[in-house]
Amino acid sequence: AQSVTQPDIHITVSEGASLELRCNYSYGATPYLFWYVQSPGQGLQLLLKYFSGDTLVQGIKGFEAEFKRSQSSFNLRKPSVHWSDAAEYFCAVGVRSNDYKLSFGAGTTVTVRA
């Protein structure tokens, strides 16, 4: 069965500091990987995706993520966090054989302190 794990429920980071959010997946097939962000009271917005090719992908809002097949990971990073980055972040995985329907991790809440 497919699964997505986000080990960190909550992360607090200072404004201007770097941020890394972890995501691990368990799939038998090559997955398609996504990171979404959800601000309070809002829907989910796609930050970036990985389908194939370069394992370091760039997204919106200065985020990037690296796919590491050997570690079954797709960690999200941002070099310098802004207060507006406070939100909940979801890692999601889809596989072609399953119609690409997404399985989501439990989410990581990011708090940014001044």
Partner 1 sequence: DAGVIQSPRHEVTEMGQEVTLRCKPISGHDYLFWYRQTMMRGLELLIYFNNNVPIDDSGMPEDRFSAKMPNASFSTLKIQPSEPRDSAVYFCASSGVTLKAFFGQGTRLTVV
Q: What residues line the site for partner 1 (CB under 8 A)?
A: 32, 34, 36, 42-46, 49, 51, 90, 92, 94, 99-107
Round to whole Å and give the CA distance between 11 and 27. 26
**CA of 18: how far to CAs of 14, 59, 89, 93, in Å?**
8, 16, 15, 24
Single out the residue of 94, 73, 97, 88 nearest to residue 9, CA to CA: 88
CB of 5 to partner 1, least distance (A): 12
Q: What's the distance, CA 112 to chain centroid?
A: 17
**Please, which residue, 51 or 83, has the CB nearer to partner 1?**
51
Round to whole Å and give the CA distance between 54 and 37. 22
CB of 103 to partner 1, least distance (A): 8
Single out the residue of 44, 50, 2 nearest to residue 27, CA to CA: 2
**Please, which residue, 30 or 80, has the CB nearer to partner 1?**
30
CB of 2 to partner 1, least distance (A): 11
**Please, which residue, 17 or 46, has the CB nearer to partner 1?**
46
CB of 16 to partner 1, least distance (A): 30
**Please, which residue, 54 or 99, has the CB nearer to partner 1?**
99
